[in-house]
Amino acid sequence: MNVFITREIPRAGLELLEKEGYNIVQWVEKRELTEEEFLTHSKAANAILLTGRRKADAAFFEQCSHLKVVSLFSVGYDNVDITAATKAGIPIGNTPDVLSNATAETAFLLMIATARKAFYHHKRIAAGNWDFFEPTAGLGTDLFGKTLGIVGLGNIGFEMAKMCKGAYGMNIIYHNRGHNKQAEAELGAKRVELDDLLAQSDVISVHVNLSDESKGMFNAAAFAKMKSGALFINTARGGIHNEADLKVALENGTIWGAGLDVTNPEPMDKNNPLLNMENVSVLPHIGSAVKETRDAMAILAAKNVIAGLKGEKLPACVNPKVQ
Ligand code: DGY
């Protein structure tokens, strides 16, 4: 069996695949595969372990309908046309749960960093601007007892809410299609309509998948409904916020600050004005970038490959109806 891996992944996952005796081709160059390279390698494989920015769209599945499984090294699956994969009968694996703590921690980090303008102060020192003490300059905003609004209270959102409740005694509200009974019971979380969440939250943290529904949902109209003291935190996908509208909302004081682990596009241009704003913290999509988490993701992704090649049920599958 031939397995194509589109980036170097942790040994922990590779070892599992090697033990099965698969012929592994791993793309180790530190550049994105071209579409042609991606297709050529995928055509020669029985399974692919997909990470990076290459998209598996309808045209891809038409040409690679022979694949037994596509295993993602991510919980998000917006780079895959799930309808086309399902039509081709190909199971799509992903890596939920194992990265919830690390990703929630990134949201928590961005919330505190933004509230205290930590990245701005760091840049000030690096630029040689640690000058005399000014009691009224560079001030942050308090988080104790504030209201956290979670958009998409799944596993990652739950962990973020737990951290905010534990550290700052924050009041938790959330917007989901259904109720999250665990969050309601354990954290006293309250489900509200989106407009109420926008109006009531001091911090909004986004944890939904990128979909037609969520694409651009944080636009000028949404920012206008938020408190002027609010922080906007996005660790999900850059396409969920409209970057131009966010910039205007921050410049005009429509909202107070933003913490982004995801941007649109990625990588963010180094001259992007958001990088020079006091109340903005940007990270390069490092939500799951913890050694233990990346090992666990590699293991789960490898298990999805193995199950797919054996014709078994994937441990974590996005389109279980094909199994
Ligand atoms: C995920 O797992 O979806 C992360 O955001 C990496 O893409």
pLDDT digits (tens, 9 = 90+) for 184-209: 999 999 999 999 999 999 999 999 99
Using DSSP, state whether 195 is helix, strand or coil: helix
Q: Is 285 a catalytic residue?
A: yes
The Cα–Cα gap between 121 and 146 comes to 24
pTM of this structure: 0.97
Stretch (H or E) spanning 264: none
Q: Is 179 a catalytic residue?
A: no
Q: How far is the CA of 241 from the centre of ligand 1 (A)?
A: 16
Residues 183 and 231 in one domain: yes
Residues 132 and 259 in one domain: yes
pLDDT tens-digit readout, 11-39:
999 999 999 999 999 999 999 999 999 99
Task: Quote the pLDDT of residue 159.
Answer: 98
Task: Quote the pLDDT of residue 94.
Answer: 98
Residues 276 and 141 in one domain: yes
Residues 217 and 302 in one domain: no
pLDDT tens-digit readout, 209-254:
999 999 999 999 999 999 999 999 999 999 999 999 999 999 999 9
Residues 104 and 143 in one domain: yes
Residues 176 and 228 in one domain: yes
Residues 163 and 73 in one domain: no
Number of domains in the chain: 2
Q: How far is the CA of 74 from the centre of ligand 1 (A)?
A: 4
Pocket of ligand 1 from Cβ distances under 6 Å: 74-76, 99, 287-288
Using DSSP, state whether 184 is helix, strand or coil: helix
Ligand 1 atom 7 nearest Cα: 74
Residues 68 and 173 in one domain: no
Contacts for 320 with CB less than 8 Å, ≥ 6 apart: 91, 313, 314
Which of 209, 207, 206, 186 lies closest to 198, judged by CA?
A: 206
pLDDT over 90 at 315, yes or no: yes
pLDDT tens-digit readout, 38-62:
999 999 999 999 998 899 999 999 9
Q: How many residues are given for the chain?
A: 323
**CATH code for the domain of 85:** 3.40.50.720
Residues 252 and 311 in one domain: no
Catalytic residue selected from 41, 237, 241, 294: 237
Residues 229 and 116 in one domain: yes
* Owning domain of residue 42: 2-98+290-322
Query: In angstroms, how far is CA 16 from the centroid of its own chain?
Result: 26
Pocket test for ligand 1, best of 103, 297, 304 (most atoms within 8 A of CB): 103
Residues 274 and 303 in one domain: no
Mean pLDDT of all residues belonging to the chain: 97
pLDDT tens-digit readout, 65-100:
999 999 999 999 999 999 999 999 999 999 999 999
Contacts for 27 with CB less than 8 Å, ≥ 6 apart: 4, 5, 6, 7, 8, 33, 37, 41
Residues 105 and 169 in one domain: yes
Ligand 1 atom closest to Cα of residue 236: 5
Beta strands 23-26 and 190-191, pairing class: unpaired
Task: Quote the pLDDT of residue 53.
Answer: 86
Q: Is 24 exposed, middle or buried (0-12, 13-18, 19+ CB in 10 A)?
A: middle
pLDDT over 90 at 323, yes or no: no
Q: How far is the CA of 99 from the centre of ligand 1 (A)?
A: 9
